[in-house]
Amino acid sequence: MATTAAVVALGAAAVPAQAAPGHGAGRPDRHPGAEPIVIAHRGASGYRPEHTLAAYRLAIRMGADYVEPDLVSTKDGVLVARHENEISGTTDVATHPEFADRRTTKTIDGVAITGWFTEDFTLAELKTLRAKERLPQVRPDNTRYDGQFEIPTLDEVIRLVKRESGRTGRTIGIAPETKHPTYFGSIGLGLEEPLVRTLRRNGLDRPNAKVVIQSFEDGNLRRLAGMTRVPLAQLVERAEQVTPARLADIATYADWVAPTKNLVIPRDPAGAIGAPSSLVADAHAVGLRVVTWTMRVENQFLPTNHRIGTDPNAKGDLAGEIDAFLDAGVDALFSDNPDLAVATRDSWLAGEGAA
């Protein structure tokens, strides 16, 4: 997810020059030259522990257009890349006796959670921890990397992306997601200000910066719309969030809508996918582009008509699933397996060109 002068916006990269800039500006349907974008979900998390520099680096070398750092805050207000602020499932914190007394129960967005939380650690303390595979039963090969990698800061992710952009000769983007922004704001560790400050410090707070900020919270995105000029994406996971009226509202403050994939192509009672819903067309009609999540190769994450065999952890037909979503008109997709997603996208584009 070069130099800052080479950075180009995720939204703008796929939009004709005449498209008006700014949040809620009209965006045309996909057009020749606007290739679907592959975003590495938490890095190449199918092959390395998620949200590590190793996962991001591998994703870029696999051809991902963007990498995705989920953002939470430390006690001293530094943004770090973790899927959740509770870190017992993604780090070795439980093995550190010096932090045993930090284990606690908190209510996060209405849910009681017990564990260790980033906001109770300084950055220096978090840097003594090491990442581990979040899904060891699903991805046992990834456990060979347990204990090798630190928790990266957003600044470190940006520096990596710039270095890899220079090395590869292609500009890589970042798609940060703010995690639990209302909760963090309630404890005096709001995510918006440090995020915008970090982007600005790195020369990335521009409409044509290759950055898109995601959030499930519309209040967070509405605040960000008044603070930054980069594209914004509204994450959604329920049908009532993608009615034509709601999509029109999202278009007033965001540039993208980011639905879970079952809203784009619903599954039937047997778990198979068939015809897409009207979501992509409805979103494009109000000027929104569509990015869907999450494409994973293991059978358990695939629709039943793209599974191979009965082992839930075996590799299925991810290419077939991705083809279906590209045919449905999505503008971008998140994948744990960016190598497969990029290869499928490129093959799909070649076939489209031949047609």
Which of 28, 23, 71, 77 minimizes the C-alpha distance to 51?
Answer: 71
**Is 83 designated active site?**
yes
pLDDT in tens, 238-289: 999 999 999 999 999 999 999 999 999 999 999 999 999 999 999 999 999 9
pLDDT for 30: 54
The answer to whether residue 124 sits within a structural domain is no
In the chain, % of residues over pLDDT 70: 90
**219 within some domain:** yes
Residue 241 belongs to some domain of the structure: yes
The catalytic residue among 51, 83, 180, 284 is 83
Indicate the number of domains in the chain.
Answer: 1
Does residue 320 lie within any of the structural domains?
A: yes
Structure confidence at residue 34 (pLDDT): 79
Q: What is the pLDDT of residues 283-298, one digit of tens each?
A: 999 999 999 999 999 9
Give domain status of residue 87, yes or no.
no
Q: Given a cut of 50, is residue 25 above it in pLDDT?
A: no
| Partners of residue 273 on adjacent β-strands | 267
Report the 10 Å Cβ neighbour count for 264. 23
To the nearest 10°, the Cα dihedral for 271, 29, 339, 159?
-130
CATH number at residue 188: 3.20.20.190
Question: What pLDDT shows up at residue 347?
Answer: 97
Which is catalytic among the residues 23, 41, 180, 306? 41
Overall average pLDDT of the 159-166 stretch = 97
Mean pLDDT of 71-96: 98
In-domain check, residue 16: yes
pLDDT above 80 for 28: no
pLDDT one-digit tens code per residue, 38-69: 999 999 999 999 999 999 999 999 999 999 99
User: What's the pTM value of the predicted model, to 2 decimals?
Assistant: 0.91
Residues spanned by the domain of 41: 4-72+152-354
> How much is the pLDDT for 125?
98
pLDDT tens per residue across span 230-241: 999 999 999 999
pLDDT tens readout for residues 290-334 = 999 999 999 999 999 999 999 999 999 999 999 999 999 999 999
35-45 pLDDT, tens digit each: 999 999 999 99
Asked if 41 is an active-site residue, the reply is yes
Domain-located, residue 46: yes
- State mean pLDDT over 152-164: 98
Residue 97 lies in a domain: no
